Structure 1
Amino acid sequence: MNEPRFPIDLVVTADDFDVGEVSTLLASSAECGYINYHAALSQAARTAIESGLTSKGKCLWLLADICSMALKPDSIHNPFQPYAVIEGKRSAIPEDFSAQDIEFFESALGKILDVRLNARLADILWLLKKPRQISHALSAIDCYSQFSLDHDSLLKDGKQAFERAIRLSLMIGKAASQYIDSIRAKLLDTFNSSSYDEGYRTLWLAEILLLISIEEQKSKDIAGKLEALSVQAKVEGDFYKSRQFLEGALDWHKRLQDENQTHRLTVAIAETWVSEAEIRAAESNMVAGSFYESAIKEYRKIPTKNRSALGVDNRIHDLHQKMNTANQLALGEMEMIEMPGIDISDSVEASRKHVSKRSFPEVLIALANIHSCAKVDDIRDEAEEGLKHSVFEQLCTSTHLTRDGRVARRSLGLYPGNHEDAEYSQMIWQHMLQRYNQRIELVTQACILPALQATNLEHRITEKQIFELCGLSHVVPHGRELLWAKGIYAGFENDFIASTHLLIPQIEHFVRMRLKHAKAKTSTLNSEGIETENGLSTLLDIPEAEQILGKDLLFEFKALLTDSTGPNLRNEVAHGLIEADSARSLYAIYSWWLALRLLINSIPWKRPVAQDKEPEAHQEVEKK
């Protein structure tokens, strides 16, 4: 990436490379898609330049670059993104190409009889050539619509290609009407002939068709076929696949604005979770409890006004009881695991090994559980023990300042041994915060960052993958999946400034929703009858918070997010006080990891997340 490859001012045309050679090169990589085109072309480019054929090498490099870009068809103005970004370097994007490069692309368009390459050439010309030429967009549409619709093609580049063709056609309008009609007919014919045995192909085709106007009866037929396939999957015991098809059918009924069918399918999706929970209870009550919670989450998507006719509230009540019973039984399934501790240097290496050589999403489960989180009782015991042996700290007053010099809190000294008053409790709290902050710094450097680096080294985590996981999580409310996904994904991009600003408000919303669902009061009504939602600091102080969140998580939220003498990330972000260094600090990185942990550990995996314990080397980190 960004490697010097040829003279910047070197001008080339399509006459500078062998069309037949490139055609043969691409033909051998056609089954594998654009990424293999890039690999083949870039290798040929290096060989050409090493042989002194600089002009030929540049031609091949330019073709390789346009094949390396990742297509994001839902973006109108920026559909091509770098395939990789690592340590400040990235692969090619459209803005890298000069005016001479664009002229080369225009001279090369159509010379090679390969629809993938010509689609990319035409699309790049449509984006970059000034003034724009409709012919370039039409060429791109024509080439994209020639992609295969078989299962493997859709899985690689085909789905994005057809989506891009449709969006370009809709953007252009009348001039592309013949293409949109042809694409619609091709997709419908392929959809109608697809079968259950072809995996998710039918669902993918239905998702593409959602982008095009389809007459009402055909839309109902599409929804009906997807629902029928979901029934077949459920009969075979594949509840995940059944839900995927049901959600596809649900999207079509939403498009038809058919509320009755939408709510009916929502109930059906919820009941797949119930059925799976009942089956999985024999293996793990922990998993069963998670599935019941997923069912409840699904039922809550039905508006309150429509619940009575469907018996939703009664069903939610029943499922709550089933979930509570399963969770109580799950306690008996857990086993205590004690591990010997080792020093920090070993912990860094252990962190890398802990996530290494794992497949996705297992690697995320390992990363999310790389550390066991704070135990408030242990921290309090350590603080009391430390204060007991420090008479100096008990006698002296202390003043806590913010980064910009404001006094956040003052602590008065007290007579040693006086442990009954509020001042002693406040002093203990301050010592707990100090120990917690030290632990965060240590854990983030010794455990989280090494594990994150190892994960990024072995895996290409995508926003789409995270988005799909958010849809499965119990902590992510419906409608918040994209915000959580972008925040979590930003961390994998090492963009902790973005993750901090995205995730901390979502954590606050998570707390508020948990309290609301437990019937706790989360708002304030003033004398004029105006009701205002309380902020996170107030929410964490209500009596029900400890029971609902658990005392350990409650402590972490207070210490990390709202206490004025700690990182205070929530208030710093909410009031616009946070600076860049704080937004990407060790505390900010830890808050990202904590959000990842909440997400991952709330997903009903096929095996309990508790089995993925932190590596042995981390136990000693807690004591450092």
Structure 2
Amino acid sequence: MRNIVASSDFKSFDYEAPLSRSKNVGYYHIRNLYQNAKIEAEANGNDVQARVYGLLCSICSFHFKPGDGGEPYGPMMTFDDGRRTLVPSDFRGDQAIVLGEIALMTKNPALRARLADIAWLCRRSDAAAKAAAISGLNESVALVLDGEALFEKEERHHISTGINYLQRALSIGRTRGTDVGIYNETKIILQRMRNLGFDTKVHAIFVRAAKLDLEYGISDVSIVARQATEFAEQDEKRGDQDGARRNWLLAADAYELARNVAERSACLVNAAECHVREAIAMAGSAMNATGSIIRAIEQYREVPKIHRPQGRLEELQADLVKRQRDLHDEMGVYEYYEDITEQFNAIVEAYSGKPIADCLVGLACIFDPAGMDEYKNQVRENVREFSFMALIDKTVHDEEGKIISHIPALDPGKEISDDDVRVRCGQMMSFEHVTGVKCAINPALHVIMSEHNLDDNLFHILSQASDFVPRGHEGAFALGLSRFFAGSILEACCILVPQLENSLRHVLKQTGIDVTKITNSLTQEDVMLSVLLERFREPLDKIFGSAVMFQIEMIFHSRHGFNVRNSLSHGTTRDREFWSASHIFGCWIIYRMMMAPLVHQWDKVASVIAKEGYS
């Protein structure tokens, strides 16, 4: 429970003295002044001043989020153990009443606005605090525009900080019961800010102010559209394609509000052509140029077909294919070296001299694959270690340069979702597969094949005994597993991978689940793998384990993973890819699933194997 800093504490001295010599209305600067004043007061033994300055320092330290109407202020810092710095809700009650009172007697407009805003957030009935918050923000921005105050620094682009202040003022003013005169003043200042950005040709000011103008319906949309169009044309003359694109999109937004489809479409076409010009300028980098062409195509698809330049979209699509052929030369190989001799020798020693029955069941249970939770933890760790990289959109290309997957940037304000993990775990899963294959699966297979004579008949016995294998498919499983153990992974994949979908259906049928669908022609068909992984995921997770099913999804089905099944069925898998760690790992996963029903009755199966002469 925080101790209340009373109104009498504020009134006992000039609490604005640290700001008296400063013309700055930026909260970072105000916070530093109060932080220094607090330290000095503590050194002088003045507890009351230290408490007041400490409170004001904390209030000016909030993480300002003007675009968030619900929680415009967050903690400056959150710790791993859940602790955090102060937020407005921590001041509810008597302290909020004090802040509202003190705000009305505060001269510095930025400090007045912050005190009043916190008071109003805690007590929405405090109309005086609400008005003081808006007027304080308005005054702060007006002083800077008039050259009588600063936002942190003197550089021109720091004036854009005022847009944050105005955005918060507009957000407050949009609520019921706002003083119309004060709210109109906010709108007038925002128009000044927009015109300043246009006149000085500063994108950070104009685009943000204009977007707020459109959002709150402040000016005639035709004015914003005209300025954005003129600004975009000047950008194009200067060769600033990014600036031009932003302004064309802004003009498109304005025309959309005006319901002028033709002009909006023309602006979107111009924005798309900015991407094309960027691609031309990036001729030395096929990867960057390809990305720009893709964005141009995406932009063109927003344009109604009737308003597109005839044949332009098709022309860009053909250009994209042509550029993608050059991508292969830019792609490098990431290599990581680690000495796995110790792990390899440990597996060899563990399997050497063991009966074949022990080796077979041991290989199936040699390790547990990682699941969603493990990969999610790894994504969190990567975000903490490489936080900047998590904020950048990425694309994944195949060897021909085609984009096969998009990895969107993470929102640092949101919890990592399962979908965030799915689009990111391909590389992490590759490392697991390489480690599992080289440190466990391959050395185990090496010992087994060196010390035991295995043939198709042995695997036919296992397939017949396993509930994972549908009747009539024992031969295919036996041949595929025999090739897997022999190291003929190309043949093993071609035989085993097509069997997976049917085996999953077979297992579900045994549990009484209907895995068929009725088509439009009133005939019945078995559902595909994609449907099995989506609609029947819960029973499959219970049967095989969620980790195994996540591996199945990422290895065989997902475009964000390895898409082995689709690549195999469409003939796009190259010969050498069959010996990749993920293909070998995929064959092992199928072997593990085939063996899963046998583990609890392994003594019986082992005796059958022994009777057949395998030892």
- TM-score normalised to the size of structure 2? 0.59
User: Relative to 1, partners in 2 of residues 1:394 and 1:308: Cα closer, same or farther, differing over 3 Å?
Assistant: farther
Indicate the residue corresponding to 1:106 in structure 2. Answer: 100
> Does 2:492 correspond to 1:499?
no
* Contact 1:163 1:211 (8 Å CA) reproduced: no
Write the mapping of 1:127-142 to structure 2, written as runs, cut at 5 A. Answer: 127-129=121-123, 132-142=125-135
1:451 positional shift: 5.1
| SS of 1:182 mapped into structure 2 | helix
User: Relative to 1, partners in 2 of residues 1:197 and 1:572: Cα closer, same or farther, differing over 3 Å?
Assistant: same
User: Relative to 1, partners in 2 of residues 1:142 and 1:92: Cα closer, same or farther, differing over 3 Å?
Assistant: same
1:42 positional shift: 2.6
Instruction: Name which of 542, 547, 550 aligns with 1:567.
Output: 547
Can you list the C-alpha shifts for 1:206-231, whole angstroms capped at 9, x where unaligned? 1221233245xx31121121122122
Partners of 1:43 and 1:251 lie apart in 2 by 46
- Opposite residue 99 of structure 1, the aligned amino acid is G
Gaps of 5+ in 2: 146-155, 341-346, 398-405, 426-515, 535-540, 555-559, 562-615
Partners of 1:61 and 1:205 lie apart in 2 by 34
Paired residues, what number? 430
* Contact 2:376 2:418 (8 Å CA) reproduced: no
Instruction: Name which of 168, 176, 180 aligns with 1:177.
Output: 180
Can you list the C-alpha shifts for 1:320-340, whole angstroms capped at 9, x where unaligned? 221121111121233456565
Write the mapping of 1:16-35 to structure 2, written as runs, cut at 5 A. Answer: 16-24=12-20, 27=22, 30=24, 33-35=26-28
Gaps of 5+ in 1: 344-382, 399-412, 414-426, 476-480, 509-523, 543-560, 574-586, 588-593, 596-624
> Does 2:98 correspond to 1:165?
no
| SS of 1:61 mapped into structure 2 | helix
| SS of 1:171 mapped into structure 2 | coil
* Contact 2:256 2:264 (8 Å CA) reproduced: yes
Indicate the residue corresponding to 2:308 in structure 1. Answer: 310
Partners of 1:320 and 1:65 lie apart in 2 by 54
Relative CO higher for 1 or 2, CA cutoff 8 Å, sep ≥ 6?
1
Partners of 1:9 and 1:134 lie apart in 2 by 22
> Does 2:160 correspond to 1:155?
yes
* Contact 2:138 2:165 (8 Å CA) reproduced: yes
User: Relative to 1, partners in 2 of residues 1:71 and 1:438: Cα closer, same or farther, differing over 3 Å?
Assistant: closer
| SS of 1:184 mapped into structure 2 | helix
User: Relative to 1, partners in 2 of residues 1:396 and 1:210: Cα closer, same or farther, differing over 3 Å?
Assistant: same
1:55 positional shift: 1.6
| SS of 2:330 mapped into structure 1 | coil
Instruction: Name which of 219, 237, 240 aligns with 1:238.
Output: 240
Partners of 2:111 and 2:528 lie apart in 1 by 52
Instruction: Name which of 269, 272, 284 aligns with 1:270.
Output: 272
Instruction: Name which of 426, 430, 437 aligns with 2:370.
Output: 437
User: Relative to 1, partners in 2 of residues 1:183 and 1:97: Cα closer, same or farther, differing over 3 Å?
Assistant: closer
- Opposite residue 120 of structure 2, the aligned amino acid is W
1:572 positional shift: 13
Indicate the residue corresponding to 1:261 in structure 2. Answer: 263
* Contact 1:297 1:474 (8 Å CA) reproduced: no
* Contact 2:5 2:52 (8 Å CA) reproduced: no
1:277 positional shift: 0.8
* Contact 1:12 1:59 (8 Å CA) reproduced: no
| SS of 2:278 mapped into structure 1 | helix
Instruction: Name which of 176, 187, 190 aligns with 1:187.
Output: 190
1:391 positional shift: 6.7
1:266 positional shift: 1.8
| SS of 2:35 mapped into structure 1 | helix
Indicate the residue corresponding to 1:323 in structure 2. Answer: 320
> Does 2:8 correspond to 1:8?
no
User: Relative to 1, partners in 2 of residues 1:55 and 1:453: Cα closer, same or farther, differing over 3 Å?
Assistant: same
Indicate the residue corresponding to 1:403 in structure 2. Answer: none
Indicate the residue corresponding to 2:65 in structure 1. Answer: 72
Write the mapping of 1:408-419 to structure 2, written as runs, cut at 5 A. Answer: none
Indicate the residue corresponding to 2:519 in structure 1. Answer: 527
Write the mapping of 1:77-96 to structure 2, written as runs, cut at 5 A. Answer: 77-87=70-80, 88-96=82-90
Indicate the residue corresponding to 2:207 in structure 1. Answer: 203
* Contact 2:376 2:421 (8 Å CA) reproduced: no
1:128 positional shift: 1.5
Indicate the residue corresponding to 1:453 in structure 2. Answer: 384
1:120 positional shift: 0.7
| SS of 1:76 mapped into structure 2 | coil
CA RMSD of aligned residues (A): 4.7
Partners of 1:66 and 1:299 lie apart in 2 by 47
Instruction: Name which of 55, 58, 61 aligns with 2:54.
Output: 61
* Contact 2:190 2:209 (8 Å CA) reproduced: yes
Indicate the residue corresponding to 1:39 in structure 2. Answer: 32
- Opposite residue 538 of structure 1, the aligned amino acid is S
Indicate the residue corresponding to 2:512 in structure 1. Answer: none
User: Relative to 1, partners in 2 of residues 1:440 and 1:103: Cα closer, same or farther, differing over 3 Å?
Assistant: closer
User: Relative to 1, partners in 2 of residues 1:115 and 1:316: Cα closer, same or farther, differing over 3 Å?
Assistant: same
Partners of 2:213 and 2:307 lie apart in 1 by 32
Indicate the residue corresponding to 2:221 in structure 1. Answer: 219
User: Relative to 1, partners in 2 of residues 1:12 and 1:439: Cα closer, same or farther, differing over 3 Å?
Assistant: closer
> Does 2:337 correspond to 1:332?
no
- Opposite residue 8 of structure 1, the aligned amino acid is N
- TM-score normalised to the size of structure 1? 0.58
Indicate the residue corresponding to 2:292 in structure 1. Answer: 291
* Contact 1:562 1:569 (8 Å CA) reproduced: no
| SS of 1:86 mapped into structure 2 | coil
* Contact 2:116 2:133 (8 Å CA) reproduced: yes
* Contact 1:505 1:570 (8 Å CA) reproduced: no
- Opposite residue 567 of structure 1, the aligned amino acid is A
User: Relative to 1, partners in 2 of residues 1:192 and 1:100: Cα closer, same or farther, differing over 3 Å?
Assistant: closer
Partners of 1:567 and 1:101 lie apart in 2 by 51
Can you list the C-alpha shifts for 1:506-528, whole angstroms capped at 9, x where unaligned? 899xxxxxxxxxxxxxxx98435
Partners of 2:17 and 2:228 lie apart in 1 by 45
* Contact 2:135 2:182 (8 Å CA) reproduced: yes
1:286 positional shift: 1.6
User: Relative to 1, partners in 2 of residues 1:56 and 1:525: Cα closer, same or farther, differing over 3 Å?
Assistant: same
Can you list the C-alpha shifts for 1:296-320, whole angstroms capped at 9, x where unaligned? 1222233xxx3144247x4333222
User: Relative to 1, partners in 2 of residues 1:200 and 1:342: Cα closer, same or farther, differing over 3 Å?
Assistant: farther
1:473 positional shift: 7.2
Partners of 1:563 and 1:260 lie apart in 2 by 57
| SS of 1:89 mapped into structure 2 | coil
Partners of 2:248 and 2:221 lie apart in 1 by 14
